[in-house]
Amino acid sequence: MENLNQWFYAKHPLMWLIAIFGVLLTLVQSTLIMRKAIKAGYELGITKEEMHKGIRTSAIASIGPSLGVVGSLLALLVTMGSAISYVRLSLIGGANYEAMAANFGAKVLNSELSPNMIPVVFTNALWTMGLGLIGVLVFVFLFAHKMDKVNSLLTNGRKALLPAVSLGAMLGSFAFFNIDNVLKYKTNPSVTFSTIFGGIVMFVCMKLADKFTGLRWLRDWSLTLSMFLGAIFSTLLSDKI
């Protein structure tokens, strides 16, 4: 037992059994939530065509962010194994959090994430990944069913303002995640260029979609295209900046 490293546990069949169960449970929950969302949409007067358009747009817009998770998956695979990477990134999807939390767990024992960790370091990293999100789960459990009251408080009882509040929250989230990249023009100009160029690509896509009927599909693909083209052009010009 003293000669074992993390791979004995990371590749264990029981680990895969738990991972597959977790992903299947999430798929079942997602299906139930989607069915309830569609039912609620019809009750609110949303047409079938509008519903299909919303689902299609959401699915397309998720491609770009999902590929970002796939890229981070490679780094997690070589340290935590396939089963853990599969279940963590399928359920949570926060690639940056997962790697950071695992590394914190390893550092507590004066170690680092690596392909050759002793079992106790691997276990500590795994527990840190899991326990670090308990706060989020507790908050959702206690307050998710009270979001109607929160929405009413934010809009002062005027439900017509809710779309504006939601849009403001979304714009604020995008601004928060992008402003740090924009301010890196001295330390890491390629990141700044990628962010600005991606914004320009999205703006152009939206304008073209509004102007030309045959290019309406660009509206659905604008987020994915902006992420891809921003990253590609930044990589191509990184040596010249």
Per-residue pLDDT tens digits for 102-119: 888 888 898 888 888 889
Mean pLDDT of 44-71: 79
Contact 84, 126 (CB under 8 A): yes
The angle formed by the CA atoms of residues 68, 74 and 78, to the nearest 5 degrees, is 155
Name the token pair of 142: 């206690």
pLDDT for 13:
93
pLDDT for 24:
93
55 versus 152: the higher-pLDDT residue is 55
State the Cα–Cα distance between residues 144 and 157, nearest whole angstrom.
19
State the Cα–Cα distance between residues 186 and 188, nearest whole angstrom.
6
94 versus 78: the higher-pLDDT residue is 78
pLDDT for 199:
87
User: What's the mean per-residue pLDDT of the chain?
Assistant: 81
Q: How far lies 171's CA from each of 58, 71, 166, 221, in Å?
A: 17, 25, 9, 18
Contact 99, 110 (CB under 8 A): no
State the Cα–Cα distance between residues 215 and 222, nearest whole angstrom.
11
Give the residue from 131, 11, 134 showing the smallest Cα distance to 80: 11
Name the token pair of 147: 């979001």
pLDDT in tens, 187-240: 778 878 888 888 898 899 889 988 888 887 787 777 778 877 887 887 777 666
pLDDT band at 1 (very low <50, low <70, confident <90, very high): very low
pLDDT for 28:
93
Give the residue from 230, 223, 178, 228 showing the smallest Cα distance to 205: 223
Kindly report which listed range (73-82, 103-112, 159-168, 176-185) carries the lowest average pLDDT score. Answer: 159-168
State the Cα–Cα distance between residues 96 and 73, nearest whole angstrom.
10
Kindly report which listed range (40-44, 85-89, 115-119, 162-166) carries the lowest average pLDDT score. Answer: 162-166
pLDDT of 41 strictly over 90: no
- Say whether pTM exceeds 0.75: no
Other Cβ atoms within 10 Å of 230 Cβ, number:
23
